[in-house]
Structure 1
């Protein structure tokens, strides 16, 4: 197991007849005062082991591959091919180096068409990155979205942290709502 201040790696866990694998898409380093503004600066000074060597909060993007009885479910679809400085509302909050999910799946012997369903925990950009790249990346998969999560998008509302319209628009006809 890696340390808190290190990026995640591909890891698998067997639970009965199910195999769970974290599929890495990329790494992010976020400025603690920007990403977690409610945490006092003193905390970071007293706990430097929580930050990486550059003073960032280490984060990873990816998905969880669930395999059972020859079936494959991917929970979340990473951030997608994004690299460089990360900004929120124009303010710098860190850096990103992402886009490895297809290569990680290939290294595991999995092709996009092998995924039966993609379940989105929520519709934020770091969970939907490979949903459409630019077309449906997992061509044979059902895209599963909680009805409550889809509701504001279905009403045309802008949701903070949501992916761009080039993901939301095709998702309108390519998802299955779940309760």
Structure 2
């Protein structure tokens, strides 16, 4: 997939895998009329006129940024060889690391790893196995972790999937002294409007955030799991089945879409398939997504 260049900011997408869920499970409440509206501008072979027969298809990927002399990774997917209680992520063996290297980047070249939140499919490549232990994959990187999510997922009582990920993909980074645990509105590099900074987006997880980057061109907004699928532009009000607080997540999603609609901000969700990046446009009482060309 070709790079995206916005002024002096360069962005690459690194795909780990694609998967899908039944639409009726992932986003209960989607109607035939919603899907008809979506199919007017979004092509996906898994979409039919019937929500019960349609899939909610996802890409799991990272973004690699070059900005201000820094090499930055946003979200690190599931990782390889991790023991997971959910089969789709259990002991994966993907070519994600090879795809990173194909961009001319070795793990030791990465300066920062930024996690929009600490769910298992966003932290997995934070670590790799070395003998009988998990160690930071990116030996020279600072790992930027949101304070609220870290406090939440470091507790003992959680569903197994995310607890497993914290123990093998987050805690080793903290114990290695490579983690910067920061507020979710922190400036990370440069200055606001000309650098890299976090924006709170609580709801999908207790402390999930977005990453905004800008350097000499339009803003790039990495929205993490504020949006998972283009159907959420048609129905931003519907909670996603895996949201920690569905009502709050819907408020955040709707506010974001209203903020950037018909602007030059390039939105880069964590799970859109294909090109993934694009512009939000108003579409009557809803929104649509115009993907950037290849």
Band of TM-score, shorter chain: 0.7 to 0.9
Q: What is the distance in 1 between the residues matched to 2:85 and 2:154? A: 27
Larger displacement relative to structure 2 (117-126 or 144-153): 144-153
- Give the TM-score of the pair, scaled to structure 1: 0.73
Give the aligned partner of residue 145 of structure 1: 145
Q: What is the distance in 1 between the residues matched to 2:114 and 2:74? A: 5
After superposition, where does 1:3-18 map in structure 2 within 5 Å? Answer: 10-18=1-9
Tell me if structure 2 keeps the 8 A contact 1:25–1:101.
yes
Q: 1:39 to 1:144 in 2, by over 3 A?
A: same
Give the aligned partner of residue 4 of structure 1: none
Tell me if structure 2 keeps the 8 A contact 1:105–1:111.
yes
**Matching of residue 130 in structure 1 with residue 109 in structure 2:** no
Structure 2 portions without partners, runs of 5+: 48-52, 130-134, 184-294
Aligned partner of 2:100 among 81, 97, 105? 105
Q: 1:168 to 1:17 in 2, by over 3 A?
A: closer
Give the drift of 1:39.
2.9
CA deviation map 1:12-43 (0-9, x unaligned): 2111111011111111122222222x234646
When Rg is computed on C-alpha atoms for both structures, the one with the higher figure is: 2
Tell me if structure 2 keeps the 8 A contact 1:61–1:126.
yes
Q: What is the distance in 2 between the residues matched to 1:78 and 1:128? A: 6
CA RMSD of aligned residues (A): 3.1
Q: What is the distance in 2 between the residues matched to 1:98 and 1:59? A: 18
- How many residue pairs end up in the alignment? 161
Give the aligned partner of residue 23 of structure 1: 14
Q: 1:26 to 1:163 in 2, by over 3 A?
A: farther
Secondary structure class of the residue paired with 1:162: helix
Secondary structure class of the residue paired with 2:149: helix
**Matching of residue 32 in structure 1 with residue 11 in structure 2:** no
**Matching of residue 158 in structure 1 with residue 149 in structure 2:** no
Give the aligned partner of residue 76 of structure 2: 77
Tell me if structure 2 keeps the 8 A contact 1:26–1:98.
no
- Give the TM-score of the pair, scaled to structure 2: 0.47
**Matching of residue 67 in structure 1 with residue 66 in structure 2:** yes
CA deviation map 1:82-105 (0-9, x unaligned): 7xxx986xxx9xx67873321111
